[in-house]
Chain A
């Protein structure tokens, strides 16, 4: 495998038409940024003719991404037209993958019906009842961490906290919650990436997930409606014809959407604290900055690297002819580093003037539904970290997820200073 520095040189000299930013190896060592910088400058709407996922377009500038994300009539995310991720096997029954339809992969009007059925539980007014619980758990997790010793922040903090939150939203049996983490990881993987050996194994594990939730569903159906996601699905009048496939698809959206993303933000936040200690010190002195630090973590980390659409008619976009059927990747990771929209984009700045103006949650009708739950968890975590430590130090090279979708960490070796 090449180093970051070698990739920076390749990114500078390689012919434009040979650039393939979907290669997971580039994500494993965070070597993407020089490629994205070149595309933003020289080919902001770029065609890659050959990749592991077939030909695809890359949209890399902030405002172009917003334009594609909002134009859902031309750039469809419906699973019947394609998928909302580059790799068709993640959610569709192609190669060894299985069909996991959900409303992020649906166009209106079905999209709206499904979204509105689950929206209330993550509406900000309803989140207030979670805050005390989130804080108590966050305190417990942090209080259990060693001072002055190296440990993996991803396992001990990020996974622990996000999985507990997800278990709460689903009212999932708490002692079994590590299953949620496993299922979440299994969805976005393929054989050969270290998590499953075969497509059959992946399918079998996802079927276990379905069976587990079908049991919960049957129990809750018999009880009066409760404010958890499974009960809501069991009782929502518009959700009564959900097939097992649709049910699994919906679960996958909630599990991956709510888990890997917030997890990556919690890890990214710790990494940022280590790389930008002046910012950390500033925040410690002025806690009012927390409201801008939270969105800055989400921007800087960009937990979802891309979302994909499929053109359902020919369209001329920024001088390029995109044809019906073409795959179009919106690289949020690149747009959030677009220097024409974001000042000093590579830096983590705790007092940016308009920190909420970032792409990490997407825009348009598919804009992230769980953004406030994620921000609430991050807010509490940042508050409790600032209240405890003088420094969060990353002491070794982080190990990253080899994925062009999930922009996160497997191992972040951290040492805390009292």
Chain B
């Protein structure tokens, strides 16, 4: 993975840049290397880079002034929330300002009658749910990192969680944002109402990985807490049987609140870590959670149990009470740290596949383990086909990081080959940037980059992320029409 060559002129002007930014955000500029160290990586710790300077603004006006200044002086900017990105989205640039949004940490408005909350982007995901809990509401998308990650980061990554099959990703739960463009202009997209007309720019800003603008306020939809929830643990002797069971549950018209799968290595790691009571003698374990009115949950639990039996489940246990339900989840939610205990380092992959291809993908992954000489543990948002293979490696052993990267790339290529995608919820960042070509043609990517050109034609916001090659907007804007002649019969290519 290579980042764009830093601009020597910018590096040479560092002192002047620091001084100018300190005038805009008094007391909010960090330029001492030891103090900047905490910002040199996000949760994709394999990659590290010290930023040019760190700026921590507190108001929209300051963000606007910083961006306006950087735009005028052609200085790059990398926005950052809590730095939990698993794709390197917040990885700093040597010649870029790291714009930390942590001080935007206030809940601005809670409106139970309209079921919305307006918050600043640095509020944590869980912080929103906590702020509305006393009213009986919560914010539905629940990434496992929810105690730490910010809603601004969630918006940028379009984050999901175990409940997103039923309740949607971030994009389905955000109604509006205030966005500062690289020019310093402030626009409001959406609001407290649904489906603002005009181009759905909110829809593209969500998931834009910090490349289109800096989010300074977010309006989210909040939901009434489900009246009850119960979970069932279901063990299978093969991953095929578990996959069949998932398909049959959905085919029966049931959309569970959560439906997670773990393979044997993940089950063992989690069980050793939190003692959730998982069976050790199964190849695949499902956690299926039903939520809603008790009458509905009881009814559906019965249906799920019957389906699981018919699909050859070798063990089933329904949570008897809230404590047991939480124990079932504790193992799954701690799967990443659990794997962190059995391996010095791990890469968390994030491809999505059509669920029916799961058995062949798992088989191929076993072959890759041998080929790359590394082990993998799998956790899986089974309902929507989102795989999280955790590749175990040791960065201190020469060559293992490179082998882990190659293994990960092979897995993602396989996901695309079977009809899936490179990333289901963690974003492209730097991690999957160079694989974009396996999923999209040059023409496809050019159309995506043209959207970027409408927002940030100089490519100053988070460059080096998402797109494998940085085309100049002037080049992308050129129309391929000459002298009235058509570029047919074949489709035009760049």
Same complex for A and B? Answer no
Interface residues of A, Cβ cutoff 8 Å to B: none
